[in-house]
Amino acid sequence: MVVSTLVLDERACFDEWGTPMSGDMRVEERRQRIAPDKLQLQITVHDRTIYTEPWTSSALKYTLQHGVELQEIICAPIDGNAFSERIRNAADTRAK
């Protein structure tokens, strides 16, 4: 399965480490079942405004954990508060 994500909010950061992105970013996630209980994920990021060429993650492999309940994670504006507390504000403090 391939999932392409477009029209991202350029005010956000791509991840919890503050990786920059622009509104032109396109994220392509490739998920493949490699065994009955295993999935592989590989992500490619395209953003000509920020990066000179696309970059692709290493292949991540996941194994089904029997008896573990999957939980939904909601991406919402409140996530910005956590980013500010853990990264942005911490960086401002270290710079002084």
pLDDT band at 78 (very low <50, low <70, confident <90, very high): low
State the pLDDT at residue 90.
65
pLDDT tens track for 25-34: 899 999 999 9
Phi, psi of 84 (to 5 degrees): -60, -45
Q: Which residues contact 16 (CB under 8 A, 6 or more apart)?
A: 83, 86, 87
Confidence of residue 10 (pLDDT cuts 50, 70, 90): confident
Q: What confidence score (pLDDT) does residue 93 get?
A: 59
Higher pLDDT, 61 or 19: 61
* Model-wide pTM > 0.85: no
- Helix H or strand E segment including 43: strand 38-46
Q: What six digits make up the tokens of 84?
A: 């500010």
